[in-house]
Amino acid sequence: MDRVSKFGRGNESNFKKDEITIYEDERMKLYFVRHGETEWNTQRRFQGRKNSPLTEKGEQQTKNIAEVLRNIPFTRLYSSSLERARKTAQEIQKGRGIPLEIMDEFIEISMGELEGKTKSDFAELYPEEYEKYLHASLDYNPQAFRGETFEEIQARLRKGMNDLVRKHEEEDVILVVSHGMTLQILFTDLRHGNLERLREEKLPENTEVRVVEYRDQKFIIQSV
């Protein structure tokens, strides 16, 4: 069932090619992909704005998702500036003859001084804020460790989505390679228009694909 966002306007890399729908009508399509698995993903460390290399599995995931999306006629390709997202996007870019552009409205949440640390480290160092983070409380305040609030991410994502609509035509098919927490916040906002149900939204798996259509001045989440 389509879900329409309230601010104006669910698939992994081992899918078979025929499991990704190719939309042929002239409506803007946005394909969101999370980057391939990294070393810190396997160690369950907060990555944030720091770079952690793709694992061997992550490298294979990027090749798999590039093959899954091979027949999608992308007209524009975007990625965050972080290496794990760029490498994933560059694999999808191969053979297409169109440039990869950086769009850091879709960069990962900043965890400040906690980047590279585990949830256990977070709980030990900042127990009160850890509980708020864990339950996605809107009272979460990462100022003590120079992180980014959920609302700050929501604001830059709304700007990014509106910029995509403003810059492109109705017939454009757009790829955005982004990050887990960022996409969790984006899709919560698209479904509900707020972040109160953030933890109900599934965190995307590495190289999972989610598709959004823009029509009648609304963003509509598509089944993939």
- DSSP for 173-212, please give it: EEEEEE-HHHHHHHHHHHHHSSSTTGGGSPPPPTT-EEEE
Say if CB 221 and CB 187 are below 8 A apart.
Answer: yes
Identified catalytic residue from 35, 105, 115, 148: 35
Q: Helix 56-68 to helix 83-93 angle, to the nearest 10 degrees?
A: 40
Say if CB 179 and CB 32 are below 8 A apart.
Answer: no
Can you tell me the distance from the alpha carbon of 77 to that of 102, in angstroms, rounded to the nearest whole number? Answer: 9
Identified catalytic residue from 91, 108, 148, 201: 108
35 an active-site residue?
A: yes
- Which residues make beta-bridge pairs with 33? 177, 209
Can you tell me the distance from the alpha carbon of 149 to that of 161, in angstroms, rounded to the nearest whole number? Answer: 19
CB atoms within 10 A of CB 129: 21
Can you tell me the distance from the alpha carbon of 98 to that of 26, in angstroms, rounded to the nearest whole number? Answer: 20
Say if CB 4 and CB 184 are below 8 A apart.
Answer: no
Can you tell me the distance from the alpha carbon of 165 to that of 189, in angstroms, rounded to the nearest whole number? Answer: 17
Please list the active-site residues.
35, 108
